[in-house]
Amino acid sequence: MTVDAPTDIGRQRRFGAVNWLGLFTLGRREASRGLKDYHYQIFGPVISSLLYLAVFHLAIRTTTSGGSNAELLNFIAPGLIIFVACEKAFENVCFSFIFDKHERIISDLLMAPLTALERIGGYLAGACLSGLVIGLAVALVSLLFADLSLAQPLALIFFALMGTVMHGLIGILVGIWAEKWDSYAAVHTFLLLPLSFLSGLFYRVDHLPALAQDLVRLNPVFYVIDGFRFGMTGEASANPWIGGAVLLAVNALLFALAYTWFRRGYRLKP
């Protein structure tokens, strides 16, 4: 009895200009890495956002006698949703890189027949997907505290994508550059957290002194949060068109850098 040998052994898979299968596989791996341990990876951020909302809810009761605090909570909730989504997008890529580097399996990525563009695409797809899933989860539970509306759905989607893509790209850059978990933690604590917290996430920038208002407008994360909030409430501190343009420019710049680094194999290939 003879065994039929598979006929495609040794034959190269052929694909056109884009390796769709490879791109899809990388995207799927990235997204599943970010979401598979859902009880930590989804409930963790959900619980901490609920805590933020609860604490603000109670702190407002402390600082004002009576009156409604619904307005401030409706203001904070959209900011928290996009903040959590962006944080997750950054963490997803960055963790993936540092983990792969430590486990020495980064070569699996470098060996695969993927172009620099496909690699960026795969990582970003995973980052955006897990970021948006977690943002959605946070949005659902914040309905307990705040009224969420959909004033400008297109703006909402645009700014959600711009924000997660921006943080995903930063995650790629930091992931390529970092060798230790310390670097990830340092970028998170000393760069991303201050940029997010000081960007009108929890307060109206219109109330800030003039100089601080100018400074806030140099912070790209401000436009992400402001634009996303515009998508929900229809109110914005800055012109959403300007915000969108700034974010497109920043993302193009980050993308170009990430592309060059992948092409050169910077800190990845010997």
Partner 1 sequence: MIPALAPRRYGPVNWIGLWTLYRKEVRRFLAVGTQTVLAPMVTTLLFLAVFVLALGHSVELVGGVPYMEFLAPGLIMMAMTQNAFANASSSLMIAKIQGNIVDLLMPPLSALEITLGLAFGGLTRGIVVGVATAAGIWIFVPLHAAHPGALVFYGVMASLMLAQLGVIAGIYADKFDHMAAVTNFIITPLAFLSGTFYSTERLPEFGRLLAHLNPFFYMIDGFRFGMIGHADGSLLLGALALIGVNAALLIANYLSFQRGSRLKA
Query: 3-state SS of the chain: helix, strand, coil percent to 5?
Result: 75, 0, 25
| Residue 34 and residue 127 in contact, taking contact as beta carbons nearer than 8 Å | yes
Residue 149 lies near partner 1 (rule: CB under 8 A): no
Q: Is 51 in the site for partner 1 (CB under 8 A)?
A: yes
Total number of residues binding partner 1 (CB under 8 A)?
A: 35
Task: Based on the shown chain and the rule CB under 8 A, indicate whether residue 70 belongs to the binding site for partner 1.
Answer: no
Which of 198, 246, 258, 268 binds partner 1 (CB under 8 A)? It is 198
Q: Examine residue 144 and tell whether it contacts partner 1 (CB under 8 A).
A: no
- Pick one of 42, 89, 201, 221: the residue that binds partner 1 (CB under 8 A): 201
- From residue 27 to residue 46, the character string flagging contacts with partner 1 as x (rule: CB under 8 A) and all else as - is ----------x-xx--xx--
Is 267 a residue that touches partner 1 (CB under 8 A)?
Answer: no
Query: How many CA atoms lie less than 13 Å away from 59 in the CB half-sphere?
Result: 9
Among the listed residues 2, 7, 12, 65, the single contact to partner 1 using CB under 8 A: 65
Distance CA 59, CA 81 (A): 20
- Helix 43-63 to helix 70-102 angle (10° resolution) is 150
Closest CB to partner 1 among 60 and 148? 60
What are the residues whose beta carbons fall under 8 Å from the beta carbon of 190, sequence distance 6 or more? none
Query: Tokens 């009108």 label which residue?
Result: 200
Neighbours of 48 (CB within 10 A): 14
Binding site for partner 1 (CB under 8 A): 37, 39-40, 43-44, 47-48, 51, 54-56, 58-65, 72, 76, 182, 185-186, 189-190, 193-194, 197-198, 201-203, 207-208
